[in-house]
Amino acid sequence: MWLLREPWLSLLDAAFVLLIPSNFLILMADSITVPRVRFAPSPTGFLHVGSARTFIFNWLYARHNHGIMILRLDDTDVERNTQQSVDSIFDGLKWLNLNWDEEYKQSDRLDLHRKTAWAIFEKGLAYRDFTPAHAGDAEKSGAQGTWLFNPGARELSRAESDRRAASGEPFALRFRVPRENEANSPTVWGQPPSAVRFAEGKLCVHFKDSVYGDQVKAADDIEDFALLRSDGMPTYHLASCADDADLRITHIIRGQDHLTNTFKHVLIFEAAGATPPQFAHLPLLIAPDGTKLSKRRHGPVVSVTTYRDAGFLPEAFINFLCLLGWSPKNDRENLSLQELQDAFSLEGINRSNAVVNFKESGSAVSSAAPNGDVIPTAREASGRNLLLVTEETFDPKALWLNAEHIRALPVESLSDRLLPIVRAEGWDVSPDKMLRVTSLIRERIKLLRDVLTTANFFFVKQLPPYDSAELIPQKGDAAMALKALMRAREILPNVEFRHDPLDHALRTAAQELGLKAGQMFQPIRVAVCGRKNAPPLFETLEVLGRETTLDRIAQAIAKLQ
């Protein structure tokens, strides 16, 4: 399952063998180092569109720079992780059809995390906190500002700490964030390159973000965060950094909600003796109401599978997501995957949050589960059920892009994608007929599932009921409709069912009846399609065939009489 590719390592080995001077080797290693990026979802729900975008940006960065894409399941929260969620995330990623090169699971690497934590402890950069969990939670986020540490815990002597631990007393391991008044405590701070330094007379933590620029935060605004919980499990911060260091991640591209966490991460990296990777934080995706997208509040629009089931093309969906918070800066918007890959760069990412512009529908709220964080059930996930998700559920630009990508597809491949959807509806269609129908509807659908409504009359034996008033043409009456239809019934048995002969025959018939072409065509169109809006008439008749056409015209005549 683990695909390990380390081309640069073997190159290094080769260099050693060749006895290349070491200074040259360093240069070489530098220039050869392959970017390594990761997408690290935690399996506590379905695949969120925001996560999908993070994944896509990582992927684009990796592929653009000939780097390595890593998928890592951040599953250290035993309480909330579910296999169902893992499956759901893989479902979404599989649909996106973007591959990755290596795959890991944090729960397989707990030893590494603990080792890293205790190494930090041994350096004096972490301490045991015997304060019971959640003690004083109520006041914490209250009026008196940032909570920094539990009283007394920091000062506990090593001997006392060891004694209490040995006696079996539970404790959490906390990071000893450097404080000004104890700058001389046993630490390794100050060894360059260090993120900790004085700025404007204050002890500060610093890092550079590729998107947001230089970031500085006073150490006094960073609390002594936990590394290990009292049950011995690593926290997110620790596990994430230990793994990023161990996996030699070079660039961390993630949501801006992690921007302030990064100060902590930089501290962990340096305490663990690792060089922090390059960070790039992405602006957040928000809902029209201005808040972070959430399943509970905003419904199915935030789940990737909703887009899949509604008939988005993965490449269109990717294209859409890329345009939220990133721009190629050349006014191009409709881009293929390859074009995105070629154009992508961190410089094109902007800093302000982007609104996913959908209409908030009442049904969305009711269909969301009470805890808001659940995976769609099999029923919900099935395409049929999602017909309830209306077109206005989606950002109009996403819809437009999807339509563009649909039209850009060769008819054959579009037809191949449409066929299973039509068959799932229970309609038996040959690939040949599907192909012919496809070329008639490809400029008329925005979502793949639209084939079900736009082209239904090609597939059903019996037309759904329609109002006979529809048959009456512009500036005409029932008598006119009847006249047109009866004439059609008369001549069609002897006309070859191809575009030109049909065109000629029906136009002549209209002339003879003293009707405008439109007045002749409309009753026929409604008779065979069951509605006014449909693909061009002659091509439609051609696909439908003589028998069906005449049958439906006869039915329409009966309706009018």
Partner RNA sequence: GUCCCCGUCGUCUAGCCCGGCCUAGGACAUCGCCCUUUCACGGCGGUAACACGGGUUCAAAUCCCGUCGGGGACGCCA
Write out the binding residues for RNA, residues 349-388 only, by CB under 7 A. Answer: 350-355, 357
* 92-121 residues near RNA, rule: CB under 7 A: none
283: contact with RNA by CB under 7 A: yes
Helix (H, G, I), strand (E, B) or coil at 100: coil
3-state SS of 387-443 is: HHCCHHHCCHHHHHHHHHHHHHCCHHHHHHHHHHHHHHCCCCCCHHHHHHHHHHHCC
Q: Least distance (Å) from RNA to the CB of residue 282?
A: 10
Select from 117, 241, 313, 399 the one that contacts RNA (CB under 7 A).
Answer: 399
Q: Least distance (Å) from RNA to the CB of residue 52?
A: 15
Q: 135-163: b or e for each residue (b if 16 or more CB lie within 10 Å)?
A: eeeeeeeeeeeeeebbeebbebeeeebee
Per-residue CA distances from 78 to 40, 265, 372, 376, 444 (Å):
16, 22, 19, 21, 48
Select from 56, 120, 286, 304 the one that contacts RNA (CB under 7 A).
Answer: 286
* 188-217 residues near RNA, rule: CB under 7 A: 212-213, 215, 217
225: contact with RNA by CB under 7 A: yes
Q: Which of 527, 421, 540 is nearest to 471 (CA)?
A: 527
Q: Which is nearer to RNA, 13 or 180 (CB)?
A: 180
* 440-459 residues near RNA, rule: CB under 7 A: 443-444
| Interface segment toward RNA; rule CB under 7 A; list 23-31, 113-121, 399-407, 414-422 | 399-407
| Residues with Cβ within 8 Å of residue 493, at least 6 apart in sequence | 546, 550
Select from 231, 428, 432, 500 the one that contacts RNA (CB under 7 A).
Answer: 231
279: contact with RNA by CB under 7 A: no
Q: Which is nearer to RNA, 75 or 102 (CB)?
A: 75
**CA-CA distance, 544 to 440, in Å (whole number)?**
12
| Residues with Cβ within 8 Å of residue 162, at least 6 apart in sequence | none
* 465-494 residues near RNA, rule: CB under 7 A: none
Complete DSSP assignment for 18-41: TT--HHHHHHHHHHHPPPEEEE--
**CA-CA distance, 512 to 490, in Å (whole number)?**
13
* 532-551 residues near RNA, rule: CB under 7 A: 532-538
Burial bucket for residue 331 (CB in 10 Å: 0-12, 13-18, 19+): exposed
Select from 7, 420, 518, 545 the one that contacts RNA (CB under 7 A).
Answer: 518
Record the tokens describing residue 53, joined without a space: 């975008």
258: contact with RNA by CB under 7 A: yes
Q: Which of 41, 39, 139 is nearest to 89 (CA)?
A: 41
Q: Which is nearer to RNA, 92 or 283 (CB)?
A: 283
Angle between helices 537-544 and 546-560 (to 10 degrees): 110
* 115-174 residues near RNA, rule: CB under 7 A: 129, 131-134, 140-141, 143-147, 170-172
| Interface segment toward RNA; rule CB under 7 A; list 19-27, 69-77, 362-370, 543-551 | 69-77
Q: Least distance (Å) from RNA to the CB of residue 21?
A: 37
Q: Which is nearer to RNA, 104 or 521 (CB)?
A: 521
Q: Least distance (Å) from RNA to the CB of residue 140?
A: 5
Binding mask 297-336 for RNA (x = CB under 7 A): --------------------------xxxxx-x-x-x---
